């Protein structure tokens, strides 16, 4: 990946560093954060971009979670909690709104069950459901994470937390789609790099301030909206407390 970046910008050397972690394996995340902390003394922006979409039914993380729930929500939640101390400390040296945490969601939020989460069977082990509902659950939780993070961190008054849908993009995210879906995706979707415009707007745009907590952006950098039930505090708080419980022993 580092070589790809170097070639993309036609540089002989680049000041970009990669630290590997597997969000589908909670035991890999703390060592990655410890390595980061050994190399850096500040952290200004976090973008939770990694994700999985509609893998084969029954796919699980190393800890046995449904793969999308584990990779798209539980792994990032643990990563964020481990990074919170340096992130919040850095934010106190920044102007309001300069420190940001960005949660990459999707229009898949609209396929999620009522309230965002299928609490009776959150891992969908015994529930027959459309594959997009299972994916949608994970993307709905991303939105609730964006809304709830500031509420659980009142001391981080300079931090802006937002969610977004990067746009319809041609990426490896569709690798589990059928041949017809893949063909249509190739014809109708935008180049992957355009999704970066949405994410960079969320991370850097001066038009967003700390007054815009929980804002949801859509392609390519416009203000969108999230479902009303995902904005309800009782739904978001329940999801956040579940995630806190699941990652507690890996902190």
Sorted by where each starts, the structural domains of the chain and their CATH numbers stand as 43-250 (3.40.50.720)
In the set 81, 91, 124, 135, the catalytic residue is 135
In the set 91, 99, 105, 106, the catalytic residue is 105
Does residue 9 register a pLDDT over 80? no
What's the whole-number average pLDDT of the chain?
92
List the beta bridge partners of residue 60. 66
Exposure on the CB side of residue 1, measured as CA atoms within 13 A: 6
SS (H, E, C) 174-227: HCCCCHHHHHHHHHHCEECHHHHHHHHHHHHCCCCCHHHCCCEEECCCEECCCC
Q: What is the pLDDT of residues 212-224, one digit of tens each?
A: 999 999 998 999 9
pLDDT at 179: 53
pLDDT at 187: 55
Calpha distance 131→176 (Å, rounded): 11
Note if 135 is an active site residue: yes
Q: What is the pLDDT of residues 121-130, one digit of tens each?
A: 999 999 999 9
The pTM for the full model equals 0.91
List the beta bridge partners of residue 163. 103, 216
Give the distance, in angstroms, between the CA of residue 181 and the centroid of all CA atoms in the same chain.
24
pLDDT at 249: 98
- Taking a C-beta distance cutoff of 8 angstroms, is the pair 216, 163 a contact? yes
Note if 9 is an active site residue: no
If you ran DSSP here, which 8-state letter would residue 92 be given? T
Note if 250 is an active site residue: no
In the set 124, 138, 139, 163, the catalytic residue is 139
CA distances from 236 to 7, 143, 212 (A): 42, 9, 17
- Taking a C-beta distance cutoff of 8 angstroms, is the pair 49, 195 a contact? no
Does residue 185 register a pLDDT over 60? no
Q: Treating both helix axes as pointing N-terminal to C-terminal, what angle do 75-91 and 233-247 enclose, rounded to 10 degrees?
A: 100
- Taking a C-beta distance cutoff of 8 angstroms, is the pair 146, 203 a contact? no
Q: What is the pLDDT of residues 32-52, one digit of tens each?
A: 999 999 999 999 999 999 889
Calpha distance 144→54 (Å, rounded): 20
Does residue 190 register a pLDDT over 90? no
Q: Mean pLDDT, to the nearest integer, of 203-210?
A: 97
């Amino acid at each position: 990946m580092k070589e790809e970046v170097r070639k993309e910008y036609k540089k002989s050397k680049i000041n970009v560093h990669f630290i590997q972690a597997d969000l589908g394996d909670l035991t890999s995340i703390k060592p990655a954060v410890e390595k980061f902390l050994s190399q850096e003394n500040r952290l200004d922006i976090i973008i939770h971009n990694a994700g999985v979409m509609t893998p084969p039914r029954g796919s699980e993380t190393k800890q046995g979670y449904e793969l999308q729930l584990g990779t798209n929500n539980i792994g990032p939640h643990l990563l964020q909690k481990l990074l919170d101390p340096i992130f919040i400390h850095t934010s106190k040296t920044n102007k309001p709104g300069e420190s940001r945490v960005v949660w990459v969601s999707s229009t898949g939020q609209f396929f999620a069950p009522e309230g965002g989460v299928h609490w009776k069977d959150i891992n969908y082990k015994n529930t027959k459901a459309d594959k997009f509902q299972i994916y949608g659950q994970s993307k709905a939780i991303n939105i609730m994470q964006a809304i709830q993070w500031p509420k659980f961190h009142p001391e981080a008054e300079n931090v802006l937390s937002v969610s977004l849908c990067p746009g319809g993009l041609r990426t490896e995210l569709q690798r589990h789609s059928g041949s017809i879906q893949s063909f249509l995706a190739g014809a109708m979707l935008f180049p992957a790099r355009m999704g970066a415009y949405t994410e960079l707007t969320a991370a850097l745009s001066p038009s967003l301030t700390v007054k815009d907590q929980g804002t949801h952006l859509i392609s390519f950098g416009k203000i969108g909206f999230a479902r009303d039930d995902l904005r309800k505090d009782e739904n978001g708080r329940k999801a956040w407390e579940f995630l806190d419980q699941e990652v507690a022993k890996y902190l």
